[in-house]
Amino acid sequence: MKKLSYLTIVHLVLMALMILGTVGGAVNFIVGVANSATDKIRFENLTNILLMLVIMAMLIMGALYLLKNYGKNAAMFYKAFMLLHVFVCALTIFIDLFFYTVNFFMITICILNLFKMIVLLILTFVKDLGKDRTWTLFYIILGLDVLSLVLAVINMAGIGFDFSFTGYVTALIADGTIGLSIRGKYSDKEARGRA
């Protein structure tokens, strides 16, 4: 096994912290289910538990891919990570539209997440995009997530900060995983003389 770079190690530590954070979030929502006053609140908490579990699985798949040094034999972890990322986006759109105050900011964030899902699917299933196109798509994802974070902070400044803020931070950490994966993928190809 190749030695992990310092950047990869730092990123894995951040992912481990976010996994712990999602465990904490899941426990918080489980308590919320037990104390739910209405069926709507119970359903909201159950949906958030599902989201926490999917985020946890996504982070674990991403970490396994990084630990496997991006090799071809680890491609299934990359695909699982990317597909779980798509599912996280879909669940986030559902939660934002049904359980939060729907306003200009939330609608815009949902549209950005929809675009992100499309780009993630392209990165997952379209073969031979080439290095430049792959990096371009990564920067699009990163830009969408940074813009979503800015809009969310502006929105929360008006309505109050909540637990969803950690979701935007997790999205940026997941983007880092994609970036490291792309870098590792093309480094591996270059090492095999296939770049």
Rounded Cα distance between 165 and 180, Å, is: 23
CA 43 to CA 59: how far, in whole Å? 24
Tell me the per-residue pLDDT of 25-47, one tens digit each, with 9 for 90 and over: 888 888 888 887 788 888 988 99
Quick one: tokens of 28? 């918080």
10-residue averages of pLDDT along the chain (195 residues): 76 87 86 83 89 92 84 84 95 91 92 97 90 94 96 85 78 89 76 60
Contact 58, 81 (CB under 8 A): yes
Q: What is the reported pTM? A: 0.88
CB of 79 within 8 A of CB of 38?
Answer: no
pLDDT recorded at residue 5: 79
Structure tokens given for 29: 């929502």
pLDDT 10s digits, 128-157: 888 899 999 999 999 999 999 999 999 888
Q: Is-contact 109 96, C-beta < 8 A?
A: yes
Specify the pLDDT at position 190.
67
Look at residue 89 in the predicted model and tell me its pLDDT: 95
**The pLDDT value given to residue 140:** 97
**What tokens were used for 59?**
């982070």
Q: Report DSSP state, residue 195.
A: -
**Pairwise CA distance, residues 112 & 138, whole Å:** 14
